[in-house]
Structure 1
Amino acid sequence: MPPIEGTRRATAWRLEGERRLPGEERLAEERPVALVYNGISHAVMLASPLDLEDFALGFSLSEGIINSADDLLDFEEQGEEQVEDGVAPVGITLQLRVTLRCFMRLKERRRTLAGRTGCGLCGTESLAEAVRPVRRAVPAVRVEATALQRAMDALDAAQRLQRATGATHAAGWFDLDGRLCLAREDVGRHNALDKVIGAAVRAGRDPAQAFVAVTSRASYEMVYKTAQAGVGLLAAISAPTALAVQTAEAAGLVLAGFVRQGRVTVYAGAERVSSAG
């Protein structure tokens, strides 16, 4: 079994009726990743240890910590061992240096965001911070439903970690014809989205000529991050939440769910998705 970055081998037993079959499985790696801004720890996430520079930039942008890539002045990745109860997971610290203006703004609203892989809001200090208004005006993109279907098929084919482990999500950055430009994977759906946003910004991709697709449900925060990135459409393989739809409508963002098996359900901005093609 050749090595695949971001995975670890493990022995497991498969039970089929009365048979017990030993075998080797691949597990997706999941590590604590701390984001430290100008020397102050801001968030600790559980994430796949891949594409962490993309993650740092995408998280910083989608959380409104910085306004543009130019505000992130320096990036350094540091590994550290954390031993507890005989287990030694490798923690990773991302040391980020941002402009003084962005750092002062961060200090004013700093909050602890511990382990948002599941809910996305753990550690939020107030209800006002839990649901934040979308501040960016998103472009009024227009696409054909077939482009969304084509995009999700391409994203499925790009999921190397998911095929190996069955334990990760993916996010893809597409042109308006549904052609895959970039894809990123992670154990956390929010992390995968942050990574692809960061990768697209680093590659100089124009958000006004793109949409994002994700292999998960569309929560409020997935919509929020997409809008913060200046992207006008989010397509999800599963359903959106009610708050996600309300946020998409408020932002003018097209929100499509259940994009799979020849089906597309548009929950916001339906007038900008054509059934022709």
Structure 2
Amino acid sequence: MAVEQGAKPIRFAVLKPGHGSPEAIERAVISEAPVAIEYNGIGYAVMMATPIDLQDYAVGFSLSEGLIERPDDILALDAHRSELGWILRIQVPQKNAEKVVARARQRVSESSCGLCGMDNLDEVMRPLPRVTAQIDVADAAIFAALSALRSHQTLNAQTGSAHAAAFCTPDGAILMTREDVGRHNALDKLIGALARADIDITSGFIILTARCSLELVQKTILANCPMLVTISAATDLAIHIAEKSGLRLVSLARADSALAAMPQNG
């Protein structure tokens, strides 16, 4: 069975009501593995992720965490497969390493959630910059991108369990997509891939196949992307923070409708 990178074939017994012996099938299942992230030999986080596009992930994660400002702040990057998972060894200049040490004190090993490792509420709710980028996106462009998204989800087409993050032009054309078992990871991979390809993230918008929670809004704001569209609904905090930072937020986006967050009272 040919499968996409990031998946593996697994045998299953198909159980059906009212049938006798179950049918045996082989199906592609998405890969999930611990990915340990180190900076200059300092353990920073352990994330559960799909081990593909790891260089994009390393750059995007580092940008989202505020540990680097641009891809060339990373002096060296090695993705090493170990017996238990993967290790991303990232080398940064001393000034960046000081940020790593400061942030590492506020983190513990975590899942794909971008906030689970924080032990300080001030850090979780840290002030965010205003989104300075502005683009004009017609409603028709949003629905055009949504219609095209499925054809860009190659890993999900085989496994049915991959989140996707896609970067779109203002007219709704999809330029780049990254997939992962975790929605936060998919977004970090996309941010990293855009930065490595020198594509201006301020020139378009992002679509995510996920519910819209605070962490995804934070990552989008820190990347200075002007608009975020999510397939599932947004939380109240995500809507509040998006409005406060000037991020245009569209959620519960379907082929025939979507919810555009309006200014909130209070």
Question: Once structures 1 and 2 are overlaid, which stretch shifts more, 236-245 or 105-114?
Answer: 105-114
CA distance in 2, matches of 1:35, 1:70: 18
Residue 253 of structure 1 contacts residue 268 of structure 1 at CA under 8 Å; is this kept in 2? Answer: no
Q: Which residue of 1 aligns with 2:49?
A: 47
CA distance in 2, matches of 1:131, 1:146: 34
Structure 1's 29 and 146: CA in aligned 2 closer, same or farther, altered over 3 A?
same
Letter in 2 for 1:114: S
Residue 6 of structure 2 contacts residue 30 of structure 2 at CA under 8 Å; is this kept in 1? Answer: yes
**C-alpha displacement of 1:268:** 4.7
Q: Which residue of 2 aligns with 1:203?
A: 197
Structure 1's 45 and 100: CA in aligned 2 closer, same or farther, altered over 3 A?
same
CA distance in 1, matches of 2:229, 2:139: 10
Q: 1:59 aligns with which of 41, 49, 61?
A: 61
2:129 is the alignment partner of 1:129: no
Question: Once structures 1 and 2 are overlaid, which stretch shifts more, 166-175 or 106-115?
Answer: 106-115
Q: 1:220 aligns with which of 192, 214, 217?
A: 214
**C-alpha displacement of 1:185:** 0.3
Q: Which residue of 2 aligns with 1:158?
A: 152
**C-alpha displacement of 1:113:** 4.5
Letter in 1 for 2:253: V
Letter in 1 for 2:154: R
**C-alpha displacement of 1:188:** 0.1
Q: Which residue of 2 aligns with 1:86?
A: none
2:195 is the alignment partner of 1:192: no
CA distance in 2, matches of 1:234, 1:173: 10
More strand by share: 1
2:115 is the alignment partner of 1:115: no
**C-alpha displacement of 1:126:** 1.0
**C-alpha displacement of 1:98:** 1.2
For normalisation by structure 1, the TM-score amounts to 0.90
Structure 1's 204 and 246: CA in aligned 2 closer, same or farther, altered over 3 A?
same
Q: 2:236 aligns with which of 242, 245, 248?
A: 242
Q: Which residue of 2 aligns with 1:93?
A: 87
SS at match of 1:44: strand
Q: 2:166 aligns with which of 167, 172, 178?
A: 172
SS at match of 1:10: strand
Letter in 2 for 1:2: A
- The percentage of aligned residue pairs carrying the same residue is 39
Question: What whole-Å deviation, never above 9, does each CA across 1:205-242 have from its counterpart, x for those lacking one?
Answer: 11221111000011111011011111010000011111
> Which structure 2 residue ranges, 5 or more long, are not aligned?
none
Residue 168 of structure 1 contacts residue 185 of structure 1 at CA under 8 Å; is this kept in 2? Answer: yes
CA distance in 2, matches of 1:8, 1:202: 28
**C-alpha displacement of 1:4:** 2.0
Letter in 2 for 1:208: T
**C-alpha displacement of 1:16:** 1.7
Q: Which residue of 2 aligns with 1:274?
A: none
Residue 163 of structure 2 contacts residue 183 of structure 2 at CA under 8 Å; is this kept in 1? Answer: yes
> Which structure 1 residue ranges, 5 or more long, are not aligned?
83-90, 271-277
For normalisation by structure 2, the TM-score amounts to 0.94
Q: Where in structure 1 do 4 or more consecutive aligned residues deviate above 4 Å?
A: none
CA distance in 2, matches of 1:190, 1:113: 17
SS at match of 2:82: strand
SS at match of 1:170: strand
Q: Which residue of 2 aligns with 1:2?
A: 2
CA distance in 2, matches of 1:205, 1:268: 29
